[in-house]
């Protein structure tokens, strides 16, 4: 009798256990991508193709920037066309300090984050007073202001940019080695991913999501949404600053083109391609976007009617058609489609 009562009491709990721990397609896909990124240097060493270490490093840097922007875009509903500004701030902090003989990486990172923090608070305080198209245009205006400021800095290369003699010096951490730099980028990407997972599922993230759905109602409930949005904007900007520091070290080059509005547009498209408002969508989008860019710009498979040359010369048009197709067919993006599919099949699974 006691055994029956115990079984009856435990069975409802056991029934919910598989649903909560069920391994879904999106989690398998996410784990596969993260594991594959971690194994890239080992695979490149085996096949003797070190070039791909640099290529995938670039993908992860833009994935990091896309993660930062997705915090305010996907969870806060704030469309920014100015986040390339913060990538440029990070890159120029490295470039300008290196030009003056300061190669200490900790100083580079500290100055970049300090400058990014000050600018993000100032710009965010102005931009967040408006919403919609007004927010888009003000962020774009600030980014273009600093873009033209960078062009005017003739001492640091102006429009031509400036080549760095060496990468940032972090002492025991040798960024001069491409594999070491790769794993630094990888570790930061995973760290930001974990922190954002905790952030968006905490009270802060819930308020941010609520302000995206109905800002007026959230304020009526007693939540001051403006400070939450400003904090999210600053965090988002600082992640892009770190991406800029990493990009300057990867390429050993700084250029005003890092701040151009088209870079912000590319990051936005990466997020849309992967899935707006999903945690891993920006990573999927950045990897797919830059992989297609690399393939299309170097396509040479012997296609008939001169299609190889046509695609090579007009790769942006081909990539644009791909984005349009994905947007029409998979409205939630590549990873967003997997999230939506799993939630439709099992709403309890997380």
Query: Tokens 């302000």 map to which residue?
Result: 211
Q: What is the number of structural domains in the chain? A: 1
More confident residue, 319 or 239: 239
More confident residue, 294 or 140: 140
The answer to whether position 20 is within a domain reads no
Give dist(CA 46, CA 318) in Å, integer. 32
The answer to whether residue 4 sits within a structural domain is no
CATH code of the domain covering residue 80 = 1.10.3470
Residue 231 scores a pLDDT above 90: yes
Mean pLDDT of 90-101: 93
**Within 13 A of 129's CA, how many CA atoms are on the CB side?**
6
Using an 8 Å Cβ cutoff, are 268 and 289 in contact?
Answer: no
Confidence band, pLDDT 50/70/90 cuts, at residue 293: confident
In angstroms, the CA 245 to CA 170 distance is 13
Run of H or E residues at 163 = strand 162-163
The residue whose two tokens read 């349009």 is 324
Is 32 part of a structural domain of the chain? no
Q: Is residue 330 part of a domain?
A: yes
Q: Please, are residues 94 and 108 in contact by the beta-carbon 8 Å criterion?
A: yes
- Find the domain containing 166 and state its range: 49-345
pLDDT tens readout for residues 149-160 = 999 988 888 888
> Do the Cβ atoms of 79 and 128 come closer than 8 Å?
no
Residue 42 falls within a domain, yes or no? no
* pLDDT value, residue 73: 93
Does 36 fall in a domain? no
Confidence of residue 287 (pLDDT cuts 50, 70, 90): very high
Contacts of 99-102 with C-beta under 8 Å, sequence gap 24+, read 99/155, 99/156, 99/162
Residue 189 in any domain: the answer is yes
- In contact, 248 and 61? CB cutoff 8 Å: no
């Amino acid at each position: 009798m006691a055994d029956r009562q115990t079984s009856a009491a435990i069975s409802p709990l056991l029934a919910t256990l598989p649903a909560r721990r069920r391994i879904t397609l999106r989690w398998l896909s996410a784990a596969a991508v993260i594991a594959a990124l971690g194994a890239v240097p080992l695979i490149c060493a085996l096949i003797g193709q070190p070039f791909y270490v640099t290529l995938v490093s670039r993908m992860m840097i833009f994935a990091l920037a896309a993660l930062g922007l997705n915090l305010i875009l996907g969870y806060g509903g704030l469309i920014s066309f100015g986040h390339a500004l913060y990538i440029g701030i990070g890159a120029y902090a490295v470039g300008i300090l290196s030009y003056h003989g300061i190669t200490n990486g900790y100083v580079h990172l500290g100055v970049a984050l300090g400058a990014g923090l000050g600018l993000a608070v100032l710009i965010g305080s102005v931009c967040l007073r408006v919403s919609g198209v007004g927010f888009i245009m003000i962020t774009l205006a600030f980014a273009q202001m600093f873009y033209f400021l960078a062009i005017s800095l003739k001492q640091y290369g102006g429009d031509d940019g400036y080549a760095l003699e060496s990468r940032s010096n972090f002492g025991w951490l040798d960024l001069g080695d491409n594999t070491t730099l790769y794993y630094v980028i990888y570790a930061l990407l995973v760290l930001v991913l974990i922190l954002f997972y905790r952030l968006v599922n905490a009270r802060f993230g819930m308020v941010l999501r609520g302000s995206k759905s109905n800002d007026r109602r959230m304020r009526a409930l007693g939540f001051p949404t403006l400070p939450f949005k400003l904090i999210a904007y600053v965090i988002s900007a600082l992640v892009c600053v770190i991406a800029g520091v990493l990009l300057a070290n990867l390429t050993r080059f700084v250029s005003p083109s890092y701040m151009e509005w088209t870079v912000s547009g590319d990051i936005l498209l990466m997020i849309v391609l992967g899935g707006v408002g999903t945690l891993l969508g920006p990573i999927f989008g950045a990897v797919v976007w830059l992989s297609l860019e690399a393939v299309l710009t170097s396509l040479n498979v012997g296609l008939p009617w001169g299609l190889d040359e046509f695609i090579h010369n007009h790769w942006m048009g081909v990539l644009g058609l791909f984005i349009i197709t994905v947007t029409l067919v998979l409205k939630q993006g590549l990873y967003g489609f997997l999230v939506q599919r799993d939630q439709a099949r099992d709403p309890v699974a997380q």
